[in-house]
Chain A
């Protein structure tokens, strides 16, 4: 089922040709970006069918986790609740989106096997589907962010523009990681578990639940952790704090190199992905 009225497939080879085809895949997916949205909405609708709250169920459980961890750790570490709770709330919500996008990425192509093996839909369509699905989830969880920032009065100090830049940088990076996970998981079926373990490890190593001030902003524990920069670029502006310039440098470099590498791998494996499934 295709809208296109002309299909041409050749057995031509060569790196340049594969690159062209990969770029065409990307541009086709952008032209039909509405399809990715529809698929993402379908997923969200399908996952929460029959439940009254829909994705807000996850928001609710996240909210409870924020409250629990917020109060518990604030007491354990003797930190003022109005400092710690908003910090943890933003950490859990935004780290959750990154984890969700990357973990779901593992399923991107495997889940779409049926459609991929009988249509010429662009593969990128399914990458955007995963990213959009997690964006829709984020939109629900923003409720927590709004409530926390309002209750604790942080809304007066927000740097909205920087926060937006932070979210864009986070999405740019999460999406290539998601696609990379998708390609590799299609080929090797034991990858999803590995990715999940890595993301869990990253959650504990990243200052999601703990304050990084013990280390100072130049500590290796923080600086060599890409997730620290990703989280910091979104969280700090929302809490009215400044983001280190070198965090932006790391994030832009990471997005550039990451997409370059992932796209190169995609160009190489594009015509084989359907056979992996």
Chain B
């Protein structure tokens, strides 16, 4: 089996952002009928989210992504999860990927905690039986007890974080992609999450974590990369985090 790795070569990602006007067929037709007088691409803006990013990570690497809001961190994580396809360059990932990018997304708020765990498990490729076998362990890890039988929309943000994190990391993933929110949850949960992340690292997995919190990044990561307007810096040792933050 090929060891776990992530390789990006000259990764460039552009995508159109559709404004309200561009999402209306009636308005699009109106523009066509007036011969484009009103502007042919009204409301569609092309954004270059990543430009020529090179990245190479191997088993045991824990990379922190830093950069201002809108610098491309989340886009890079989404590209690594396989959701966004590059316009130029390549992305190659060996290993099972688990992405925890947006807490609310991928969770059915009107379904109960148990149902969401089942749903996530199925998406992660577990069979129904495997999920039932793991259910007790996942339920215990969330620490939500009787709340798991209640709809997720009644949960607080911290409780949702517990559920999402427990469900997503229950599957033995090799590559974990995380955005910001790991800081949610109380101290006790932080400790549990910490233990689970360390286990992932022990299994020689890869962690890519986007965050603004330096202490958190120092705790989990051994490498750091800075993104600025979609352009990536070199990957350097986490001890140089302050240098990168100051740029």
Interface residues of A (CB under 8 A from B): 1-11, 32, 34-35, 38-39, 42, 45-46, 49, 113-121, 184, 187-191, 194, 271-272, 274-276
Contact = CB atoms under 8 A, between A and B. Distances in A.
A2 B173 CA distance: 8
Contacts of A39: 119, 122
B9 to A, nearest CB: 9
12 contacts: A2-B82, A7-B94, A8-B93, A11-B89, A38-B119, A115-B106, A118-B101, A188-B25, A190-B25, A194-B25, A271-B85, A274-B83
Given A119-B99, A190-B25, A7 B108 contact: no
Interface string B117-135: 0111011110110000000
Nearest to B97: A2
Nearest to B86: A11
A11 to B, nearest CB: 4
Nearest to B100: A118
Contacts of A271: 85
B90 A38 contact: no
Contacts of B78: 117-118
B96 interface: yes
B26 interface: yes
Q: Which A-B residue pairs are the 7 nearest by beta carbons?
A: A120-B82, A114-B105, A3-B125, A188-B25, A1-B124, A11-B88, A114-B106
A274 B83 CA distance: 7
Given A117-B102, A118-B78, A118-B99, A7 B91 contact: yes
B2 interface: yes
Given A2-B125, A46-B111, A11 B12 contact: yes
Given A35-B122, A120-B82, A188-B28, A8 B15 contact: no
Contacts of B110: 46, 49
B73 to A, nearest CB: 14
Interface stretch (B16-24, B199-207, B213-221): B16-24
A118 B83 contact: yes
Nearest to A115: B106
A56 to B, nearest CB: 20
A118 B81 contact: yes
Given A3-B124, A34-B122, A118-B81, 7 more contacts: A9-B86, A9-B91, A115-B123, A118-B83, A118-B102, A119-B99, A190-B23
B180 interface: no
B95 interface: yes
Nearest to A21: B85
A7 B93 contact: yes
Most central of B16, B88, B101, B105 by chain A CB within 10 Å? B105
A118 B105 contact: yes
Given A39-B122, A119-B81, A9 B90 contact: yes
Contact of A114 (B82, B90, B93, B107): B107
Contacts of A10: 86, 89-91
B183 interface: no
B26 A115 contact: no
Contacts of A118: 78, 81, 83, 99, 101-102, 105-106, 177
A130 to B, nearest CB: 15
A45 B122 CA distance: 15
Contact of B97 (A7, A188, A275, A276): A7
B101 A8 contact: no
Given A1-B97, A114-B102, A276 B79 contact: no
B122 A46 contact: no
A120 B81 contact: yes
Contact of B82 (A35, A119, A191): A119
A113 B105 contact: yes
Contacts of B127: 34
B123 A6 contact: no
Nearest to A114: B105
Interface string B130-145: 0000000000000000
Nearest to B119: A42
A117 B84 CA distance: 7
Given A1-B168, A2-B96, A189-B23, A9 B85 contact: yes
Nearest to B171: A1
Contact of A5 (B15, B79, B94, B168): B94
B104 interface: yes
A159 to B, nearest CB: 37
Interface in B157-190: 168, 171, 173-174, 177
Interface string B8-50: 0001100111100001111010000000000000000000000
B234 interface: no
B120 A1 contact: yes
B98 interface: yes
A2 B120 CA distance: 11
